[in-house]
Structure 1
Amino acid sequence: MALEVLDLVGIFVFGITGALVGVRKKLDVFGIQVLAMVTGLGGGFIRDVLIGALPPAALVDWRYLVVPVVAGLLTFFLHPGIERLERLVNIFDAAGLALFCVTGARKALDFGLPPLSAALVGTISGIGGGVIRDVLSGRVPVVLRSEIYATPAFLGAGIVVVADEAHLDAPWVALAAAVVCFVIRLLAIRRGWNAPLPRMP
């Protein structure tokens, strides 16, 4: 039950990031809804296909389809001033990344994947929806830029995996892992931390 709640919260906040990108790109209500849905559900679809949880949860439980639609509509009608959108996109994106890397890793472990594979699935679960969103909106995906993005997701997923290996199943473990991912991602944005780039001649 707790995993489902975290999954739905992650879908909601990622749905908001997709919708906010749609607002910034001046898309109509349909375009905003499309970005909200693919951002909210994309990572979960990829995760479920990789671990063999078929059909994906979003196609079985109606809540998974309704949540990103609600997120898109709320954003369409209540979005703040354009000058504040970039900051909100970053905050909600970091929150979605944190929630999905945790739930992705936890679900992968529940399906019997070994620790490293579960951490990778958690990372992919966190970054997948954002990659699809950026491609559809004509942006270079954040994960392919020099920004620190996938690393916080892998750390968050890694905490879940290590805790599982240590037989720690307390709810605070998932919360702590999500907080670590969220804080590192926001610090990377605020302080301009970047992954190494190739040396140019």
Structure 2
Amino acid sequence: MTTSTALLLADLVGVAVFAASGASAAVAKRLDLFGVVFVGFVAALGGGIFRDLVIDEVPPLAFADWRYATAAAVTAAAVFWLHPQLARLRTTVLVLDAAGLALFTVTGTLKALDAGVPAVGACLIGMLSGIGGGLGRDLLTGEIPVVLRREIYAVAALAGAVLVAVLHGLGQGGALPLTAAALLVFGLRLVALRRRWTVPVAPMRPPRTRDPGPGPRW
């Protein structure tokens, strides 16, 4: 198996995992078959479409290569019919979701750097490549996006994107350094899930009430 074939298969696995995640959320919201497939498509390919549009690669790969759209649609339709059985595989889906996040973050950052985007911008594009589909999924299903809440998700993607940019700047763009960056995202996401790490949120304090004192009350 060639390297390009292995990367294509890994990419399609990531697409399928994110499509399953989006379709599961849509099924929980009682959407019809078209709605489930559409949400699955957005969850799987939304980040990549954003990346390609930003770096001016048109048409986006999701539209230029039929295999991506097909993988997303078939997976989402399968979840629509098989969701009772798939509900038992939640742990497996979370692991694969972490792998997809790692893959899309690394490839998105690298594509942005190769397109001439400065390092800071490339890191943001890489992060959004990884989390963009989840943002679209949650917005379509009427939820506050998971990446904007307490979970270590976008932070893991950003850490991996920064490592890719640093390695690229040092001339270390080979398979081994990029694999290390992907493992950083993957490991950080899984450890955060295991240990229940969260991002701090602002504490909610009860509003102060003024003491009217001993004077007359009207």
RMSD over equivalenced CA pairs, Å: 2.1
Higher mean C-alpha displacement, 103-112 vs 73-82: 73-82
Identity rate, percent: 47
Of 1, 16, 37 in structure 2, the residue corresponding to residue 12 of structure 1 is 16
> Counterparts of 1:24 and 1:172 in 2: how far apart (Å)?
39
Letter in 1 for 2:72: P
For structure 2, list consecutive stretches of 5 or more residues without a partner in the other structure: 206-218
Within the alignment, does 1:134 sit opposite 2:138 as a pair?
yes
Using the TM superposition, give the Cα deviation of residue 92 of structure 1 relative to its aligned residue in structure 2, in angstroms: 3.4
Within the alignment, does 1:188 sit opposite 2:172 as a pair?
no
Using the TM superposition, give the Cα deviation of residue 150 of structure 1 relative to its aligned residue in structure 2, in angstroms: 0.7
What TM-score do you get using the length of structure 1 for normalisation? 0.89
Q: Which residue of 2 aligns with 1:66?
A: 70
Contact 1:6 / 1:103 at 8 angstroms: preserved in 2?
Answer: no
Structure 1 residues 7-156: aligned runs within 5 Å: 7-81=11-85, 84=88, 86-156=90-160
Using the TM superposition, give the Cα deviation of residue 11 of structure 1 relative to its aligned residue in structure 2, in angstroms: 1.7
Q: What CA deviation, in whole Å up to 9, does each residue of 1:115-160 have, x standing for no partner?
A: 2211111001111110000111122100111211111001111222
Q: What CA deviation, in whole Å up to 9, does each residue of 1:9-63 have, x standing for no partner?
A: 3222211211222233333322221111000110011111111112211122212
Letter in 2 for 1:105: T
Letter in 2 for 1:175: T
Using the TM superposition, give the Cα deviation of residue 5 of structure 1 relative to its aligned residue in structure 2, in angstroms: 4.6
For structure 1, list consecutive stretches of 5 or more residues without a partner in the other structure: none
How many residues in Structure 1 have an aligned counterpart in Structure 2? 201
> Counterparts of 2:177 and 2:19 in 1: how far apart (Å)?
25
Using the TM superposition, give the Cα deviation of residue 200 of structure 1 relative to its aligned residue in structure 2, in angstroms: 2.5
Using the TM superposition, give the Cα deviation of residue 98 of structure 1 relative to its aligned residue in structure 2, in angstroms: 1.2
> Counterparts of 1:78 and 1:156 in 2: how far apart (Å)?
33
Contact 2:19 / 2:72 at 8 angstroms: preserved in 1?
Answer: yes
> Counterparts of 1:20 and 1:85 in 2: how far apart (Å)?
12
Structure ID, larger Rg: 2
